[in-house]
Chains A and B, each alone.
Chain A
Amino acid sequence: MADQQFEPKIVGFLCRWCSYTGADLAGTSRMEYPANMVGIKVMCSGRVDPTFVVKALKEGADGVLIAGCHPGDCHYSEGNYKAMRRHPMLLNLLDQFGVDPKRIRQEWISASEGELFAEVVSEFTDQIRQLGPLDWNKRIEADCETV
């Protein structure tokens, strides 16, 4: 369902020590990437509760990016491993709800990987553009009047 006018809205959860800093580096290095993703800083990718992802989808996000430190390098030792284990379980559940798992992406981006950050955001934005808008609330609108 590609829509020429459609600009994806992507919410990102970026861990403060690695990926948020990597995003900062992309910025200070004047790297260009689409403005469709707005990042929310969390201390660790392990702080990302699946309810955040679902909340974002319900509020109108077309895609969610969760970025953390590379496995083994987490500033808090193992928080990203927890995130890593939650991710496929969330995708499997969302799949049953009819949400394309490609809309939720997990990436490992370190503080020095500004270029990677820019690449990921560009690629992800394109991908969501291809998938089209999620429009969750519209999709599930009931077929009758209710109170």
Chain B
Amino acid sequence: MAKPKVAFYWCASCGGCEETIVDLAEDILKVVDAVDIALWPVALDTKRKDVEAWVPGEVAVAFINGAIRLSEQLEWVELLREKCSLVIAFGSCAHMGGVPGLANATNRDEIFANKYHRSATTENAGGVVPQTETAVEGYDLTLPTFWRDVKPLDQVIDVDYYLPGCPPPFDLVAAAVGAILEGKLPEKGAVLAPEKALCESCERNDTKPDEMTITEFKRTATSTPDPEKCFLADGYLCMGPATRDGCGLRCINGNMPCRGCFGPPPDTLDPGLKLLSAIASRGEADSEEDAKVLADSLVDPLGTYYRFGLPASMLKRSADTERA
């Protein structure tokens, strides 16, 4: 019986999800033993026309990482949706928009201006910016459309499952692959990770005092968290209570508070708003003035709550107009 075929594809991403597979080192041979990799731009030279030639269903699973912001990415993911039986959104970017998703706090003009005009390391006297069509030496060249909004995968195609994380830890990936091969997948649309929040496995959870109060928000940029204490109890905003478990506490063990890369647990509608509500309730402020002082001590709430999930938040993006 032929080995099942899998496809890996990357959209607006950093390459870290590819790294996760490559980091298997010699174990990658086990992967190759079990499956045929039909598409993997980082490692194989499969062409687009090869993929277009696939029979729908020929490839069992497509692991697509990266967010969608270029028209080319949309074309590819629509193609893979057509040809593959299962599409799994791999990593935070595909799941929720990821770090690229923070572009939703600004717009294309600003991004291009920063990148091609204002950047200190760019010399662009001619003011050249990418165009979708241009002619160079008589040849017509096209570039994909660069949209204003970054979208997670499920806002453009139908997604079967999600592997969360930046990047997803390999044990979760292995479990997912195993489940696929054995046909033991949960209900469609599930995130393939535990359903409780991070505090469930965090050793620092025990150090929370009975009556936790938050007096100010400290920044890891300017001070170091106590290596034994719960970050929230120590005054550092930790997304843990509104973030799924399953990452193995990689950041916590590095003495950094959780940044929410696994996304919210199933019943949390919007992790930013819910965490805001939870920690504000514990704030030490008994007057409106004190409450404002506490709130103002949190620098860049949008970037802190939605570092990985802005496009998947309730508001999706900031208003791209004059003050709304």
Contacts and interface: CB of A to CB of B under 8 A. Distances in A.
Do A and B have CB atoms closer than 8 angstroms in the complex? yes
Interface of A: 46, 49-51, 54-55, 57-58, 71, 81-82, 84-93, 96-100, 134, 136, 139-140, 142-144, 146-147
B146 to A, nearest CB: 10
A100 B269 CA distance: 23
B314 A51 contact: yes
A17 to B, nearest CB: 19
A47 to B, nearest CB: 11
Nearest to B156: A147
Given A92-B296, A93-B301, A134-B324, A84 B318 contact: no
Contacts of B287: 71, 84
A93 B302 contact: yes
Residue in B287, B300, B321 with the greatest tally of chain A CB atoms within 10 Å:
B321
Interface residues of B, number: 48
Interface string B46-79: 0000000000000000000000000100100010
A140 B276 contact: no
A145 to B, nearest CB: 10
Given A87-B291, A97-B302, 17 more contacts: A50-B273, A50-B274, A85-B285, A88-B288, A89-B295, A89-B298, A92-B301, A97-B105, A98-B319, A100-B324, A139-B320, A140-B315, A140-B318, A142-B147, A144-B148, A146-B74, A146-B156
B85 interface: no
Interface of A: prevailing SS: helix
Given A89-B298, A146-B151, A140 B281 contact: no
B323 interface: yes
Contacts of B105: 96-97
Nearest to A93: B301
B317 interface: yes
A99 B320 CA distance: 10
A88 B292 contact: yes
B40 to A, nearest CB: 25
5 contacts: A93-B273, A96-B301, A97-B318, A97-B319, A146-B151
A58 B314 contact: yes
A82 B147 CA distance: 40
Contacts of A140: 149, 315-320
Contacts of B274: 49-51
